[in-house]
Chain A
Amino acid sequence: MAGVAGGGARSDGPLKLAVPRGALFGETLDVLDAAGVDTSPLRGDSRSLIFHTDEMTLVTMRPSDVPTYVEAGAADVGITGKDVLLEQADRTVYELLDLGFGKCRMVLAGPRGDERMGETFRRLGTMRIATKYPRIAERYFEDTGRQVELIEVKGSVELAPLIGLGDGIVDLVATGRTLAENDLEVREEIVDCTARFVANRVAHKLRASEVDDLTARLRVASRA
């Protein structure tokens, strides 16, 4: 039954906000604080996943799960990276605000000073590219008119070209240090990504004033 309509997503009670753990966690808490949302319970070393404040319920999760929970209405609103939204572009979530922090770039990178990518492309008409973002990569190479063989990996993608799995990688780069440490260099910039505030489409309609109010507060907080 659950498959039919995403049952169980209730819009009663406090607004549910999906908070991304990981790289965006700290700055997400900061911007929420600045917007007047009490995040002190999340700052301890609690293993809990759900935190209740007077105003709303904060639910912590992997950034890549945020669109899933928000689309289904299990969370009314959420914060996640644009990279996640692009990779899951088929999910119906309303993207309400660019929060500006968590800035990084999606890039095509290859071994430093190594012409393997160009060489394979010239002789085989293709490149083998390892990535954690197969849909973003696929769209990028399609848009730029190149045929590539994409290899999806889950962990440290920098490893792939170093030991011969692929000629290059498509990955998210914040400072570029990981790339440099692994003797990789940026060849092409694909897109800039920052943290975004998203909402479930039904919550956006049925809890309009709460969603609009939080959006306005986050807008001010993120511009400060």
Chain B
Amino acid sequence: MIHPIPPGTRDVLPDEMRELRRLNRLLIEVFEEAGYGEVSTPAIEYDEVISRGERPQAASPYRFFDENGDLLALRSDMTVPIARLVATRFADAPKPLRLCYLASAYRAVTPQRGEMREFVQAGIELIGAPGADGTAEVIGVLEAALDAAGLDRTVIGLGHADLYRNLLTEFGVDGEARDAILTRLATHDLVGLEAELSEAGIGTAATEACVALSQLRGGAEVLERAREIGGDAIERTTTRLQRTYEKLLESGTADRVQIDFGLLRDLGYYSGAIFEVYDPALGHILGGGGRYDGFLSKFGPDLPAAGFSLYLERVHVAQMEEEARRAERTAS
């Protein structure tokens, strides 16, 4: 008998499970060693809680009623449940708090595109540690996790979530025009970006500055190149990125980091530093994270926070690709 399962979900059989389990253990060990305690939260939460974290248009796609008529939702990541947990269970605990997790999350992505609707994330949240120090600690743990997984070719793109909002304010663009421009930047549609910018009537110089900035990525030298473009918003962002980058240099964890002025993450709650993880073996990102200062105030005390999550199955695929590559090189 063949019984189907919903699109975007899958069974895991013993051979794969054994490897995933090994990877899980490695990652959690790295997190525990860095002082992050593992937590687990329910996969279903009250929709009212989950939807606090999201932009209204990105609420959980999986919602249903329980026997009391309460609206429940499947979590779409772990950051929101952990924000809820911190406000509820650790309100009076000394800060910073260090928590980690390994958990399934759910998103209504289009199947058959290399993305699953149910997927496992491994990550950490650092609550109550502000600024460059906090960000650098999180990136340091991320590096250790990638090392433990044997991914020596991964790159961490480091950018800033507020850059374009501030830059457009500086150019006097707001409201719908600003949202349209931010959408183009988020989808990296440069042709559309130029069209929206010129429609906003900010002049050729500002348009060119914005487009050039979105293509600026590389080592420490891009900080200088950003400064050459000029303006207060860019100066502020560059100074912050530089501070974070210097912290990473100090702690010896800057090797993998690529500074990226074009980086924008889709999740609505980020403020400050943001990052994404790339591996040459995969066309999709391995994970990402960033600062979400201000977000916890939706649940309780306003605490600065940062974290990251890795897509476990993708890290596993990248591991396999890297192993195959190393085997090839040894053979030749």
Measured CB to CB, the residues of A under 8 A from B are 1, 3-12, 71-74, 90-92, 94-98, 196, 200-206, 208, 212
With A4-B116, A5-B317, A206-B155 already in contact, the answer to whether A97 and B283 are too (CB < 8 A) is: no
With A1-B317, A4-B317, A7-B321 already in contact, the answer to whether A97 and B280 are too (CB < 8 A) is: no
6 A–B contacts, CB within 8 A, in A order: A1-B317, A4-B116, A4-B316, A7-B317, A71-B113, A200-B283
Select from chain A the residue with minimum beta-carbon distance to B191.
Answer: A98
Q: B-side binding surface: helix, strand, loop or mixed?
A: mixed
Q: A-side binding surface: helix, strand, loop or mixed?
A: mixed
Chain A residues in 8 Å Cβ range of B316:
4
B89 to chain A, nearest CB (A): 33
A43 to chain B, nearest CB (A): 28
Closest 8 CB pairs of A and B: A73-B283, A6-B114, A5-B314, A11-B280, A94-B188, A9-B283, A7-B317, A4-B313
Select from chain B the residue with minimum beta-carbon distance to A68.
Answer: B113
Total number of residue pairs linking A and B with CB closer than 8 Å: 99
Chain B residues in 8 Å Cβ range of A90:
110
Chain A residues in 8 Å Cβ range of B284:
5-6, 72-73, 202
A159 to chain B, nearest CB (A): 30
Q: How far is the CA of A20 from the CA of B276 in the complex (A)?
A: 30
The yes or no answer to B330 lying at the interface (CB within 8 A) is no
Select from chain B the residue with minimum beta-carbon distance to A199.
Answer: B188
Interface residue from B155, B189, B321 paired with A205 (Cβ < 8 Å): B155
Q: How far is the CA of A95 from the CA of B211 in the complex (A)?
A: 12
Chain B residues in 8 Å Cβ range of A92:
187
Chain B: residues with Cβ within 8 Å of the partner, total of 39
Select from chain A the residue with minimum beta-carbon distance to B155.
Answer: A206
The yes or no answer to B91 lying at the interface (CB within 8 A) is no
> Is A202's CB under 8 angstroms from B282's CB?
yes
B57 to chain A, nearest CB (A): 14
Select from chain A the residue with minimum beta-carbon distance to B116.
Answer: A4
